[in-house]
A and B are shown apart, each in its own frame.
Chain A
Amino acid sequence: MKISKAQVPYLLLFPGFAFLFTFFVLPIINLAQTSTQTPISGGDTGQYTQTFAFSNYIHAFTDNKDQFLRSFVYATLATILALAISYPLAYAIAFKSGKFKNILLVLVVAPFFTSFLLRTVAWKQILGEEGFVVPILRSLHIIGQQTTLTSTAFAVVTGMTYNFLPFMTLPLYASLERIDPRTIEASGDLYANGLTTFRRVTLPLSVPGVVAGTLLTFIPAAGDYVNASILGSPSTKMIGNVIESRYFKIVDYPTAAALSFTLMVAILILVTLYIRKAGTEELV
């Protein structure tokens, strides 16, 4: 069989398209179908039939407004914290680390070598009564003697910040690393001090990294349920936890599917607005 030159790109694209179709498009269609089903009267648990019950969406949303809101608040907080920690870190790795650059990059990725669950459970220990954080904070009177940190919003946001940190650091590093150091020198040469150079040159040039990093952190954080279920309490439940319990505990597939869809659309809208605002400026 002879393959013409014009066919090559399609052949190369085929595996990717096949994968996306099987594991993204089909499940999405399935999810959409499930989200408008209702229980079969007299049927067993988990038996549903298609009735195009769009009211599922209204119920799913109104019943879980708080969890939705909480998801976005926590994800936003975790994203901001991760950015605050990652920016100086990525900056130091890109510009100040010299020969330690590669070692530091490996260290950023190193947590991925252990399981996500284990790392999150470890945070439970760190923030628990027997950890070192609580006694120190208590002795410094930053928190009261009775205050605990586990099963709080603080613990959930801390866990999410920690878990998604590499997703923030790596794109930031990549965009900072790409900056020609001579443009920074040129800024100093043109009467800008260190702070002004950062504000006028380094920061604007790293915007693509900031956009990529915040998206890679915010999107998985908004749908996350592991941190909330391990480090949180019933009062810190996120939408991910609701979806998880609807699916696996209550076996209420339509509600879970409707929630998933709503979450997806909400994230899509937020991300679009965000990119419109931050990322459209033409950059190198």
Chain B
Amino acid sequence: MSNEAISARGDLRLTRLTKTYGDFNAVDDLTLTIPKGSFFALLGPSGCGKTTTLRMVAGLEEPTVGSIHLGDTDITTTRPYQRPINTVFQNYALFPHLSIFENIAFGLRRRGVKDVKEQVDKVLNLVELPHLAARKPTQLSGGQQQRIALARAIVNRPALLLLDEPLGALDLKLRRQMQIELKWIQREVGLTFVHVTHDQEEAMTMADTIAVMNEGRIEQMGSPADLYDNPETAFVANFLGQSNLIKGKIEGNDGDNLIVDLFGQKISMPKNRSHALDNSLYAGIRPEKFRISLTGTPTRGNTLAGGHIEDVSYIGVSTQYVVSMPWGQELMVFEQNDDGVAPFDKGDEVVISWEPNFTFGLHGDEDIEAGTEVNPEEPVNE
């Protein structure tokens, strides 16, 4: 059994995976396939079950219900040390009593690999820290420890590499740099990476596929662009970037488009971008998709008239406007500062317009606050 598991390769399949603590479902009936060789991100706020899922895959938690397969091998109850899976832990968990070299060699030695020195040197070169081999972990900076933790895991060439908030302890600048580096290393070594994070930008930068998790379930799964452009739930719309969600009613059809009434003003949107179940819907538009024009000037596409500028924040590449609409809602608009057009002033009477294709439709019963109150920069412990 153990020998079979350790050499398992292939897609990771989670089937109806559930983890219950008392009467709290940390992970709730999760079914998911992660293709071999992909960079997959589990994204969600604290307590959404993403870390618990990761720990079950690593073998550090046992599922209450459900199964985990790697290729054709069932590893649900396999001990962690018998799984061909390695983890980059949140705070790296380097062995403080061992040198960097011995930290990296740890997994190789346990498996009785012959050319330990060669392999450790190779991976130290990959993470560009060959000169630190003799140091102890405490003598390294956070960024260096992070790379050693990565090296210690990938040196084993696991079927699956799990990254638990790997960049959470680094400062912003270093995090951005490591994101690019991690992505490069993943391509270089060709392993399957499963990355757990609460940072949407981090997930979108690195992952091929993102599963957005909330309350133990997957809200939506897809490529970063899919999730951003066509969110299916208010939670996804708000957790990934910002969204303007405007309450409306579907009035009818016009070929492939829906005609939607937003507080008396008609707009159109593609049918296939609506996730409404009946006539009631929220029309969703990303703030940067809006254009602002002074009332009376010509506009294209969907328009909503009667707004006036409530607030202006200039932030260099763009200007952020808060536009209050006749029905009392405040809309967020980001305008690129690239066209030489003089920015609008507080109090200006304006019309908002956008391309109909950028509209997405959410079911009218959605809680439009879902996913907004979570602070994406909050500390990472679940």
CB within 8 Å of B: which residues of A? 180, 182-183, 185-193, 196, 200-201, 204-205, 281-284
Contacts and interface: CB of A to CB of B under 8 A. Distances in A.
13 contacts: A180-B93, A182-B93, A186-B87, A186-B89, A188-B79, A190-B107, A190-B152, A191-B81, A191-B110, A191-B111, A193-B79, A281-B97, A283-B97
B258 to A, nearest CB: 50
A192 B112 CA distance: 11
A284 B94 CA distance: 11
Nearest to A283: B97
A190 B106 contact: yes
A281 B97 CA distance: 9
B86 interface: yes
Given A190-B152, A191-B107, A283 B87 contact: no
A192 B95 contact: no
B97 A205 contact: yes
Interface of B: 58-60, 79-82, 85-87, 89-91, 93-97, 106-107, 110-111, 136, 138, 152-153, 156
Nearest to B84: A191
A179 to B, nearest CB: 9
B381 to A, nearest CB: 12
Q: Among the interface residues A182, A186, A193, A204, which one has the most CB atoms of the partner chain B within 10 A?
A: A186
A205 B97 CA distance: 7
A34 B156 CA distance: 68
A174 to B, nearest CB: 16
Given A191-B110, A282-B136, 9 more contacts: A183-B94, A185-B60, A185-B80, A185-B89, A189-B81, A190-B81, A191-B81, A191-B156, A192-B106
A182 B89 contact: yes
Nearest to B137: A284
Contact of A186 (B59, B82, B93, B138): B93
Nearest to A183: B93
B79 A189 contact: no
Contacts of B82: 191
Contacts of B87: 185-186, 189
Contacts of A196: 110
